Amino acid sequence: MTVTLKRNDEVMSVTLTPELAGGKYRAGMWVRDSSAGIGTLTFYDEKSGGFGGLGHPICDSDTKQPLPLSDGNVGEVEITGTEKSIDGDPGELIGHFTSSAATGVLTLNTGCGVFGRMFRCPSKHEALPLGYKQQAHTGRAYILTTLDKDKPKEYEIEIENVDLSEDAAHSMIIRVNDPELLERAGGIVQGMSGSPIIQDGRLIGAVTHVFTEDPTRGYAVFAERMYTAMKESAG
């Protein structure tokens, strides 16, 4: 049979000849048709209904490459606990979906996060102005994240480095110095990606990655970059 596929943005047609293996003819194709996990919503734009989250792409767990997105849903999750990070072994948020009903749709999976539209405002948290990348600076800031059944809470961090170059792989380097967050989570854990970073009363960025060998530190992306991607996803 002739198969049309897309590889690295190139569409091509190839001839597929099944091989006899174990008494059956097999195509040798490995298909992953869905993925699910816990990530953090970074912001919701009340005017458009659009949202941005995660701060990095949803990737295949084996190839580590971004998953092409045909469609996707957003659902509510209850965080029930935290597996603490230690040096060399990042922990993770533990939780479960509270309902099979979708609260929004995913329309874009990009290098700076996932984007789409929510059916309703996800929370009543105080609205914050968007901080532009030129307003980000080293020094004190806060991340807003959820560690258990409690509501999202602010934890103090320090922005150690800001990279304004257009081709920067990461916008900022952050360090957790909040005693409670260090005690309960060891710093940054998986599932915390997308947690908003607030500096000088503005939404300045989002947590993206944890340093495996030092979970008190990690990378972050500018909120301005995510907001621009959200507007592009809405057309």
Cβ–Cβ under 8 Å, residues 221 and 206:
yes
Q: Does position 184 have pLDDT exceeding 60, yes or no?
A: yes
Amino acid at 159: I
Quote the mean pLDDT of the chain.
90
Q: Does position 150 have pLDDT exceeding 80, yes or no?
A: no
Q: Does position 235 have pLDDT exceeding 70, yes or no?
A: no
Domain residue ranges of the chain, discontinuous segments joined by + = 41-233
- What percent of the chain is modeled with pLDDT above 70? 98
Calpha distance 186→195 (Å, rounded)? 16
* CATH fold for the domain made of 41-233: Thrombin, subunit H (2.40.10)
More confident residue, 131 or 8: 131
Which of these, 98, 91, 56, lies nearest to 193 by C-alpha position? 56
Rg, Å, the chain Cα set: 20
Interval 88-135: pLDDT, tens: 898 999 988 888 889 899 999 998 999 999 998 887 778 899 999 999
Which helix (H) or strand (E) segment holds residue 79: the answer is strand 77-83
Q: Does position 234 have pLDDT exceeding 70, yes or no?
A: no
Which of these, 40, 35, 59, lies nearest to 51 by C-alpha position? 40
Residues marked active site are found at: 56, 178, 193
Cβ–Cβ under 8 Å, residues 182 and 176:
yes
Interval 19-54: pLDDT, tens: 998 899 998 877 777 788 888 899 999 888 999 999
Pairing between strand 202-211 and 214-222?
antiparallel
